[in-house]
Structure formats: structure tokens, C-alpha cells
């Protein structure tokens, strides 16, 4: 696939590692040639490739090559070096631009990519959200999809989506110190505004999931003006809340590491384990909500999550109504949690 940088780009990864190991000092072309199994000429070309990827490399004849700066781009080796996960983010494919990482991940999954394989893009031209709605994914955010093959019944898909939103919440906290709030089923909010969303698309039959593609979108460094007018009141970014940009690669790693833990828990304990974790994380329970579940729209208080991760809403009559699918709007109310830790 054109424009795809994969963990299999061994020479590029080796070149970056060899330069990083020198900690800002020059490495001779001869030494690099030995480490990479390349001629000196090929090393000059390799340095050019690194520059095209955004690395600042100083090359001086007689002295060699020295790494001056590393781009904040989720290139496979930048994401994977030091990544503390068992299966999530192994391997990584990176693209500058694609239509939707969901489609790329689904394809790679179907042709045998390992479980946990990650597809990440700097921008998407046809990003989509739940229910195939268009999703805004310009430069400055983290947009990625994971190939998963959970040995769980298709009914557990809702729990997988909740587990992923818990992981995003945890990753955001680790990377930024901000405490986000979970809004059932798949939104992550700062204050009342959406900062991230997750979705799961799957291929399977009634009894078994063959493959699930988990999609995650996080508004990391988006500026207020970047959002289309219709999103400005409802969306935010980590940069807007923090008042400074956050580096993408460390943020991605924090989220992947949290996903690894939450995915493991989901595999072992299914919906019930996810539901327990979700209930004890900062969430929207207790809020007045509008439930939009076409053709119905109704209001009540979100009171609980049941063991299948469906939302229980108390009506004015006192009756409880169970919501297993649909959209929730939070009605104006007292903000229960401050975004700052
Ligand atoms: C939602 O809130 O409705 C889910 C949003 C998921 C967006 C991500 S961005 C990466 C991946 N590729 C897509 O086209 N969508 C998901």
C-alpha cells in the first residue's frame, strides 16, 4: 500500500536506532554502514529518507551523521520502541493520509495481520464515527484502528467499546493529567465537550466474532478554529484544555498501554468485568439525559450500568428503562467533575 511505513522497514528503523544510540554525537558512515549492512553511498540515501520522514539529520563529510531532532509522528519504530504492551500495537503501520484507518485495518486483518496490529494516520479524508457518521479527523489528532480477534460472543461488542473508552480515559490522564468523563456508550468528555470517541466494527456470525476493528479518535492538538462551526460547542481538544500542545507519540503510547490492560481484562472477564470498571471511573451516571433511539426520544436520569453494559435510565414515573443502543445527550446540569486532575 503506498505511503505506508511499517515496522518491517527494518533499515530505516535500524538507522534511527543507531543514530539515537549516539546521543547527538556524529556516527561515521562506515560505522552506520556496518550496522545497517549498507554501502556509504546507500547510507547517504538512507539519511535522505530520514529527512523526508521529518528527522533532522546533520551530515558532514569526514565526520558522519548526527541526529538533531526527531519528528513527533507515530512512525512504527517511534511508537514501538519502549512500548509496554503484550499485544496492542504489534506491529504498527503508519500513513500520513488515508481515507479511514478502519478500512485499512480491516483489510490487513483479513489478510492475516496479527491481533493487536495498529494502523495510525496523521489525517483521514473519510473518517467515520459510530453508525457510519462522518467524523472530523484533520492533522493534529490521533486517529487509529486496531485489529482484534476477541474470543468472546458478539454480544460483548458493547463491552469492548466501553473497555476501549475506559482505556482512552486512562491514557489521557497518564499523558496529560486531565480527568476525562465517560459518556455511555463511547464518548470521552472534558467538561461537557467531546475530546475522544471509540467505535467497534466487526465481521462475524451469531456465535463468534471473526474480527473486530476498534477505532479510536482523540482530538489532541486541534485548535478551536479548526473545528467546523457545528462542532465548536460540543467538541474540544487536549491542547485547548491544557493551554499547550501535547506530543502525539507519547500520548499514543499511554493510550495503547491502557488499551492493552483493558483488553486483557475484557478477554478474561467479559461484560461484567468491564461494567465494574466503568462504574468506578469518572462517568455520566447521575446526569439527566435525553435518549435518542429512533423512532423514540425520551428523557430521564442515567442511574446505572447493568452487567451487559446496557444503560439503565430512570423515568419521571420511577420506572427503569434499559438502553442497549442509541445516542445519549446530556441535559444541562451541574458539572460534576472538573477536567483538571
Ligand atoms: C465516534 O465517536 O463515533 C467514534 C469515532 C471513531 C473515530 C476513529 S478515527 C480512527 C478510526 N478511523 C475512522 O474512520 N474512525 C475511527
pLDDT tens for residues 256-293? 999 999 999 999 999 999 999 999 999 999 999 999 98
The 8-class DSSP code of residue 58 comes to: E
Give residue 215 CA to ligand 1 midpoint distance, Å.
Answer: 5
Average pLDDT, the chain: 93
102 CA closest ligand 1 atom index: 12
| Residue-level pLDDT at 110 | 95
Phi, psi of 336 (to 5 degrees): -80, -25
Nearest to 16 by CA among 59, 61, 77, 91: 77
199 CA closest ligand 1 atom index: 4
Sign, CA torsion 2/131/264/248: positive
141 CA closest ligand 1 atom index: 9
User: Given ligand 1 and candidates 161, 215, 234, which is best to mutate, with the most ligand atoms within 8 Å of its CB?
Assistant: 215
128 CA closest ligand 1 atom index: 14
Which value, in Å, is the radius of gyration of the alpha carbons in the chain? 22
Give residue 277 CA to ligand 1 midpoint distance, Å.
Answer: 23
Give residue 140 CA to ligand 1 midpoint distance, Å.
Answer: 15
pTM above 0.85, yes or no: yes
- Tracing cell 446505572 back to the chain, one arrives at 304
Give residue 139 CA to ligand 1 midpoint distance, Å.
Answer: 14
Residue identifier of the C-alpha nearest atom 3 of ligand 1: 129
Give residue 19 CA to ligand 1 midpoint distance, Å.
Answer: 35
**How large is the average pLDDT for residues 97-102?**
98
| Residue-level pLDDT at 338 | 43
Q: How far apart are alpha carbons 122 and 108 in whole angstroms?
A: 18
Give residue 217 CA to ligand 1 midpoint distance, Å.
Answer: 5
User: Given ligand 1 and candidates 97, 129, 144, 212, which is best to mutate, with the most ligand atoms within 8 Å of its CB?
Assistant: 129
187 CA closest ligand 1 atom index: 2
Residue identifier of the C-alpha nearest atom 1 of ligand 1: 129
Give residue 276 CA to ligand 1 midpoint distance, Å.
Answer: 25
Instruction: Output the CA–CA distances (angstroms, integers) from residue 326 to 37, 58, 163, 188, 299, in the order listed.
Output: 56, 54, 18, 16, 13
Q: Is the pLDDT of residue 9 over 80?
A: no
- 3-state secondary structure (DSSP) of residue 326: coil
**How large is the average pLDDT for residues 215-229?**
96
Residue identifier of the C-alpha nearest atom 2 of ligand 1: 197
Give residue 295 CA to ligand 1 midpoint distance, Å.
Answer: 25
Instruction: Show the cell assigned to 217.
Output: 479518535
**How large is the average pLDDT for residues 51-56?**
96
List all residues 6 or more positions away from 38 whose beta carbon is below 8 Å from its beta carbon.
11, 32, 46
Which residues does ligand 1 sit against, CB inside 6 Å? 100-102, 124, 127-130, 135, 137, 143-145, 186, 197-199, 215-217
Tell me which of 334 and 321 has the higher pLDDT. 321
Going by pLDDT thresholds of 50, 70 and 90, the confidence category of residue 14 is: very high
Instruction: Output the CA–CA distances (angstroms, integers) from residue 118 to 123, 146, 210, in the order listed.
Output: 15, 5, 17
Residue identifier of the C-alpha nearest atom 16 of ligand 1: 215
**How large is the average pLDDT for residues 81-93?**
96
| Residue-level pLDDT at 3 | 52
**How large is the average pLDDT for residues 52-63?**
96
Give residue 199 CA to ligand 1 midpoint distance, Å.
Answer: 6
129 CA closest ligand 1 atom index: 3
Give the bridge partners for 124, in sequence order: 98
Q: Is the pLDDT of residue 295 over 60?
A: yes
Amino acid at each position: 500500500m503506498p505511503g505506508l511505513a511499517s515496522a518491517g522497514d527494518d533499515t530505516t528503523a535500524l538507522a534511527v536506532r543507531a543514530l539515537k544510540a549516539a546521543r547527538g554525537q556524529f556516527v561515521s558512515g562506515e560505522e552506520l554502514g556496518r550496522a545497517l549492512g549498507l554501502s556509504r553511498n546507500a547510507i547517504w540515501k538512507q539519511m535522505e529518507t530520514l529527512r523526508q520522514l521529518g528527522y533532522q539529520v546533520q551530515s558532514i563529510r569526514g565526520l558522519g551523521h548526527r541526529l538533531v531532532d526527531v519528528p513527533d509522528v507515530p512512525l512504527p519504530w517511534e511508537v514501538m520502541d519502549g512500548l509496554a504492551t503484550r499485544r496492542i500495537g504489534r506491529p504498527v503501520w503508519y500513513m500520513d493520509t488515508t481515507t479511514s484507518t478502519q478500512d485499512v485495518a480491516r483489510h490487513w486483518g483479513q489478510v492475516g495481520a496479527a491481533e493487536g496490529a495498529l494502523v495510525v494516520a496523521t489525517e483521514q479524508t473519510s473518517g467515520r464515527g459510530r453508525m457510519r457518521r462522518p467524523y472530523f479527523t484533520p492533522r493534529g489528532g490521533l486517529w487509529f484502528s486496531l485489529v482484534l480477534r476477541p474470543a468472546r460472543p458478539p454480544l460483548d461488542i458493547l463491552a469492548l467499546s466501553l473497555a476501549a473508552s475506559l482505556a482512552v480515559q486512562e491514557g489521557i490522564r497518564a499523558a496529560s493529567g486531565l480527568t476525562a468523563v465517560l459518556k455511555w456508550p463511547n464518548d470521552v468528555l472534558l467538561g461537557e465537550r467531546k475530546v475522544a470517541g471509540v467505535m467497534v466494527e466487526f465481521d462475524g456470525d451469531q456465535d463468534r466474532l471473526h474480527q473486530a476493528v476498534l477505532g479510536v479518535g482523540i482530538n489532541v492538538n486541534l485548535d478551536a478554529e479548526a473545528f467546523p462551526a457545528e462542532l465548536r460547542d460540543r467538541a474540544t481538544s487536549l491542547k485547548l484544555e491544557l493551554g499547550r500542545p501535547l506530543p502525539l507519540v507519547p500520548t499514543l503510547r499511554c493510550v495503547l498501554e491502557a488499551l492493552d490492560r483493558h483488553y486483557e481484562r475484557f478477554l478474561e472477564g467479559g461484560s461484567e468485568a468491564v461494567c465494574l470498571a466503568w462504574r468506578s471511573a469518572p462517568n455520566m451516571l447521575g446526569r439527566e439525559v435525553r435518549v435518542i433511539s429512533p423512532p423514540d426520544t425520551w428523557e430521564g436520569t442515567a442511574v446505572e450500568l447493568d452487567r451487559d453494559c446496557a444503560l439503565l435510565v430512570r423515568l419521571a414515573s420511577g420506572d427503569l428503562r434499559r438502553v442497549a443502543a442509541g445516542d445519549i445527550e446530556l441535559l444541562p446540569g451541574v458539572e460534576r467533575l472538573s477536567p483538571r486532575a
